[in-house]
Chain A
Amino acid sequence: MSRLKDKVAAVGVGYSAIERTSSRSLGALTMEAIRRAVEDAGLAIEDIDGLATFPEIPVFGNPHVDGVDVVSTSYMVRMLGLEGRLRWHTQTDNLVPNTFIETANAVAAGACDYAVIFRAMHNPGGRYNAYTSNLAVGRHQFTAPYGSHRGYQYYGSAYQRYMHLYGATREHMATLILNNRRNAHLNPNAYFRDVPLTKEDYMNARMLADPVCLLDCDIPVDGAAAIVLTSGERARALPNAPAYVAGYGQFSSPSLSMGPPLEHLVEGATAVADRMWEAAGIGPGDIRLAQFYDGYSFFVYFWLEACGFCKVGEAFEFIQDGRIELEGELPVNTFGGQLGEGRLHGMGHLAEAVLQTSGRAGERQVRSVDATLAAVGPMNGGSAAIVFTREPV
């Protein structure tokens, strides 16, 4: 059973503006997100004594300049004037849900009282994440010489196999894409808030690497988001309804095979999901709505199946007939996902899980959210999943 129950709650969420290319620096956007999250929690910056992030730009060859294309914890400590105040900080590898989990454990251990987790993402412009070297070193030497570099090629191959094995089509996927876009229309932070999308748009979208088209990929943006965590006891004295961290699952070994093959993605996601359920002490039937990582649309299928909402090979049918819509039996990616909101690398999924649990998701609020989950990452290596509950137990 999880040691976190009743001990840690998310109490504030903040976003910067999310733009394709911002005129402001990533450092400035991150400050904006953090200030808004702290204010949302009913706190002041001086209250913050814990700070954590995952500072990475997942783009080939980018320089990693603090405040420009990445934002580190130490950079933000200085910008926020927290040098004399901070009691705990960290930077994690892997994706931001792992940062969230580290921070939750720090709060539970009493290492800090009010902690902020942030994630800053930069869109460098030009062709996003192109391979721009005439050499292929390290792990690239077995892929780049074959023109294989982008996730929509290698993860896309796993999706191709999924379609081949189970009979999923692009038409099935259109349901998920349109669901996300409809939800984005109700999310004031979403990049695609005001941009309508039809099934024809999806079916006719430019193919990047068959079977993956442009609209199966999230949209790279400049932007940041932040979440405030504190103890359950302190949370109950703050203005927002707490979103309690009920349990989590993390860590799956990276595949030892090239690809990685579909089979290893499923294995990785299942390992994470199994630990999450065990820690939270509940199961899929207790979950009111879910946020699934959609850096690529088809990841949602793999997560739905790994978490046990349907059997392996059935997710593309499960999402049909309104089941994942806001009024459906399991609303999915209620904020629009990264496909609709923008590429915050999983931070949007965590923020939405907090807002829905707290009853503060505005026009897109789902009724009676007792428990929700956010499962973030590309299945094997770096992925994690977290359950939130409205009540502490």
Chain B
Amino acid sequence: MAETGVSLPPLPVPDELTKPFWDAAREGRLHIQRCQACRRYYHPPQVICPKCVSSSLEFEAVSGKGTIHSFSVMRDQRVQGFEEKVPYITVLVELDEQPLLTIVTNLPDAAPEDVRTGLRVEVWFERLTDEITLPQFRLAR
């Protein structure tokens, strides 16, 4: 693995529940699942709304804007495909649409010393394959 120098980062495998998320990302849009009965957002997606038990859950476009809730600067080689990327930043972004509606992302363009809790961020899209595009974030201008 690490020795070969050719390992790739883990590629998302969309499933029945998550396919709409990845379909939207491929087209450059951030869609998050929302309960059509109580209007609550969920990420990761749910089968039944845990708050109101409605099965009416649809994906809706969100603003792609949010705030850095917390972060970590990874220095250890412990994830395949990321051996050459250390140190890299993983961020928990709180999306504007709902308190503690969080999404994990990197800030590929930022240096560790530029990252602080509370900074504003916005989504962009990193194309990995024909099928998979990864929502990523950057510091808001």
CA distance A153 to B7 in the complex (A): 21
Contact, CB under 8 Å: A148 / B104: yes
Q: Inside 8 A of A256's CB, which chain B residues have their CB?
A: 42, 46, 50
Q: Inside 8 A of B128's CB, which chain A residues have their CB?
A: 145
Contact, CB under 8 Å: A141 / B92: no
Of residues 123 through 165 on chain A, the ones whose CB sits less than 8 Å from some CB of chain B are 127, 129-150, 152-154, 156-158, 160-161, 164
Of residues 96 through 130 on chain B, the ones whose CB sits less than 8 Å from some CB of chain A are 100-106, 112, 117, 128
Query: Which of A134, A139, A211 is close to B11, meaning CB atoms less than 8 Å apart?
Result: A134
Q: A145-B134, A149-B79 are in contact. Are A257 and B101 (CB under 8 A)?
A: yes
Contact, CB under 8 Å: A258 / B104: yes
Contact, CB under 8 Å: B100 / A157: no
Contact, CB under 8 Å: A130 / B78: yes
CA distance A154 to B3 in the complex (A): 26
With both beta carbons as reference points, the residue of chain A lying nearest to B46 in the complex is identified as: A256
Stretch among A106-114, A182-190, A259-267, A303-311 lining the B interface = A259-267
Contact, CB under 8 Å: A261 / B73: no
Q: Inside 8 A of A157's CB, which chain B residues have their CB?
A: 69-72, 90-92
A47 interface hit (Cβ, 8 Å): no
CA distance A345 to B8 in the complex (A): 32
Contact, CB under 8 Å: A257 / B102: yes
CA distance A134 to B80 in the complex (A): 7
A282 interface hit (Cβ, 8 Å): no
CA distance A261 to B104 in the complex (A): 11
Q: A160-B117, A208-B76 are in contact. Are A147 and B85 (CB under 8 A)?
A: yes
CA distance A261 to B103 in the complex (A): 10
Q: A153-B90, A256-B42 are in contact. Are A136 and B72 (CB under 8 A)?
A: no
Q: A127-B78, A142-B104, A263-B100 are in contact. Are A156 and B88 (CB under 8 A)?
A: no
Q: Inside 8 A of A329's CB, which chain B residues have their CB?
A: none
Q: A133-B10, A137-B15 are in contact. Are A143 and B73 (CB under 8 A)?
A: no
A207 interface hit (Cβ, 8 Å): yes
CA distance A130 to B76 in the complex (A): 10
Q: Inside 8 A of A133's CB, which chain B residues have their CB?
A: 10, 80
Determine which residue in B77, B79, B81, B100 has the highest number of CB atoms from chain A within 10 A of its CB, and name it: B79
Q: Inside 8 A of B112's CB, which chain A residues have their CB?
A: 210
Contact, CB under 8 Å: B72 / A210: yes
Query: Which of B13, B72, B88, B90 is close to A137, meaning CB atoms less than 8 Å apart?
Result: B13
Q: A145-B9, A145-B10, A153-B90 are in contact. Are A258 and B103 (CB under 8 A)?
A: yes
Contact, CB under 8 Å: B74 / A147: yes
Interface residues of A: mostly helix, strand, loop or mixed? mixed
Q: Inside 8 A of B43's CB, which chain A residues have their CB?
A: 142, 257-258
A203 interface hit (Cβ, 8 Å): no
With both beta carbons as reference points, the residue of chain A lying nearest to B82 in the complex is identified as: A147
Query: Which of B8, B44, B100 is close to A264, meaning CB atoms less than 8 Å apart?
Result: B100
A197 interface hit (Cβ, 8 Å): no
Of residues 44 through 73 on chain B, the ones whose CB sits less than 8 Å from some CB of chain A are 44, 46, 50, 69-73
Contact, CB under 8 Å: A164 / B70: yes
Query: Which of A135, A156, A209, A258 is close to B44, meaning CB atoms less than 8 Å apart?
Result: A258
Contact, CB under 8 Å: A149 / B78: yes
Q: Inside 8 A of B74's CB, which chain A residues have their CB?
A: 147-148, 153, 208-209
Q: Inside 8 A of A262's CB, which chain B residues have their CB?
A: 70
With both beta carbons as reference points, the residue of chain B lying nearest to A208 in the complex is identified as: B76
Q: A133-B80, A141-B18, A154-B72 are in contact. Are A261 and B9 (CB under 8 A)?
A: no
Contact, CB under 8 Å: A210 / B9: no
With both beta carbons as reference points, the residue of chain A lying nearest to B128 in the complex is identified as: A145
CB distance from B113 to the nearest CB of A (A): 11
Q: A131-B80, A258-B104 are in contact. Are A147 and B88 (CB under 8 A)?
A: yes
Determine which residue in B44, B72, B77, B80 has the highest number of CB atoms from chain A within 10 A of its CB, and name it: B72
Q: Inside 8 A of A129's CB, which chain B residues have their CB?
A: 78
Contact, CB under 8 Å: A136 / B117: no
CB distance from B30 to the nearest CB of A (A): 13
Q: Inside 8 A of A153's CB, which chain B residues have their CB?
A: 72, 74, 90
Question: Which 5 A-B pairs have CB atoms at the shortest separation, nearest pair first?
Answer: A161-B70, A136-B10, A210-B73, A144-B10, A147-B82
A-B contact pairs, 15 of them (CB 8 A): A129-B78, A130-B80, A134-B8, A137-B15, A142-B18, A145-B134, A148-B104, A150-B76, A153-B74, A157-B69, A207-B73, A208-B76, A208-B78, A259-B69, A264-B100
A interface with B by C-beta (< 8 Å): 127, 129-150, 152-154, 156-158, 160-161, 164, 206-212, 256-259, 261-264
Q: With contacts A134-B9, A148-B104 known, what are 18 further pairs, Cβ within 8 A? A: A127-B78, A131-B10, A133-B10, A143-B104, A144-B9, A146-B106, A147-B74, A147-B85, A149-B79, A156-B72, A157-B91, A210-B73, A212-B72, A256-B42, A257-B101, A258-B44, A258-B104, A262-B70
